[in-house]
Amino acid sequence: MGKQADKIVIKGVEIHLVDPPDLDVDWIGMEEPLVQLLASWSDDGDDPPMQPRILGKPGVGKTSLAITAARRMKQDLYVYQCTVDTKPEDLIITPVIADEGKIRYVASPLVAAMIKGGVCLLDEGNRMSEKSWASIASLLDMRRSVYSIIAGVEIKAKPEFRICVTMNEDASTFEVPEYIYSRLQPGIHMDYPTREEEYKIIRGKLGGPSNSVIEHVVDLLQESHKKDEDLSVRDGLNISRYTYRLLKFRSKLSEDGALDQAVFQITGVRRVAYDGPTLV
């Protein structure tokens, strides 16, 4: 197995590797799911690391959790976005036309993480079909490898390789096959942050909006959580930043009016429906 900076040769087949994305997050609070993820990935001698699934509604921080855990382990994180159109070979090797009509084999983020000993996040894994899951079943057991039909080679994961899968709790997903589900253990459940955590997250990411706007956005989010509705920190960030921008461009608009407009345009629901308080 020969290796260069951005490619690797396996049994005479040259495979080009993608670089990990530049990702960074400020993890605030919620230490329990982080401890659970790191524990599942821990090295226990001959016993391979586990492959956890991270569960929760959209926007609760599942991807941020994986980014933070990979950073704590000082490993690169690769992300593969799963969709209903994901084909088996998409998860492994993709052939592309290179110079002079030659075929170049390009590794998926999953395979690049395997080869480089990084971490791979299969994002929204329950949007994939059973056929796609079947193509990586051997990676999720003691074999820790995949086979590329297109390139005709078996690719083994380095011992440092780690994987996790996020799964959204919504209706637009597939049932994960039982033989795959049993390999994706443990289940790590992500809940909404506390009020204090939501405030710190939004305040830490946005410098423009006033404290009063962010406080009232967080109040709105907390009211939504109590009703088991779908507003997330991501929604709170968008509402806060759009409120701030409306106020910059419309000098006669009050904070309360800007917040009302932002809530409706971001969520499609009038602010009064959340029973949130009004700004003074």
**17-54: pLDDT as tens digits:** 999 988 877 788 788 999 999 999 998 777 889 999 99
Residue range 217-236: mean pLDDT, rounded: 89
pLDDT at 265 over 50: yes
pLDDT at 170: 65
Q: What is the pLDDT of residue 192?
A: 86
- pLDDT tens for each residue of 79-98: 999 999 999 999 999 988 87
- Sign for the CA dihedral angle at 70, 76, 81, 82 comes to negative
Q: Which whole-number Å values give the CA distances from 49 to 42, 53, 165, in the listed order?
A: 6, 13, 14
> What pLDDT is recorded for position 196?
92
- Does pLDDT of 254 surpass 50? yes
269 or 153, greater pLDDT: 153
Place of tokens 């226990």: 44
The yes-or-no verdict on residue 271 having pLDDT over 60 is yes
Report how far apart, in Å, the C-alpha atoms of 112 and of each of 17, 53, 104, 108, 193 are: 6, 20, 15, 6, 33
Q: Which pLDDT score, from 0 to 100, does residue 171 have? A: 60
Q: Tell me, what's the pLDDT at 273?
A: 67
How far apart (Å, rounded) are the C-alpha atoms in residues 146 and 137? 8
The string over 172-183, giving b where at least 16 C-beta atoms fall within 10 Å of a residue's C-beta and e elsewhere, is: ebeebeeebeeb
pLDDT band of residue 12 (cuts 50, 70, 90) is: confident
* Angstrom distance (rounded) from CA 13 to CA 229: 51
Alpha-carbon distance of 33 to 35, in angstroms, equals 5
Percent of the chain with pLDDT over 90: 62
Query: Predicted confidence band at 102 (pLDDT cuts at 50, 70, 90)?
Result: confident
Confidence at 71, pLDDT banded by 50, 70, 90: very high
DSSP characters over the chain = -EE-SSEEEETTEEEE-PPPP-------S-HHHHHHHHHHT--BTTBPPP--EEEESTTSSHHHHHHHHHHHTT--EEEEE--TT--GGGGTEEEEE-GGG-EEEEE-HHHHHHHHT-EEEEETGGGS-HHHHHTTGGGGSTT-EEEETTTTEEEEPPTT-EEEEEEE-SSS-PPPPHHHHTTS--EEE--PPPHHHHHHHHHHH-SSS-HHHHHHHHHHHHHHHHTT----HHHHHHHHHHHHHHHHH-TT--HHHHHHHHHHHHHSS-GGGGTPPPP-
Please give the pLDDT value at position 278.
46
Q: How far is CA 100 from CA 44, 46, 97, 159, 203, in A?
A: 48, 46, 8, 37, 52
Checking if the pLDDT of 198 tops 50, the result is yes
Residue owning tokens 């078996």: 154
pLDDT band at 1 (very low <50, low <70, confident <90, very high): very low
Q: Which CATH superfamily is domain 2-189 in?
A: P-loop containing nucleotide triphosphate hydrolases (3.40.50.300)
Burial of residue 12, with CB atoms counted within 10 A of its CB: 0-12 exposed, 13-18 middle, 19 or more buried: exposed
Q: Note the pLDDT of residue 202.
A: 92
pLDDT digits (tens, 9 = 90+) for 157-181: 999 999 999 998 766 667 889 999 9
pLDDT value at 274 more than 70: no
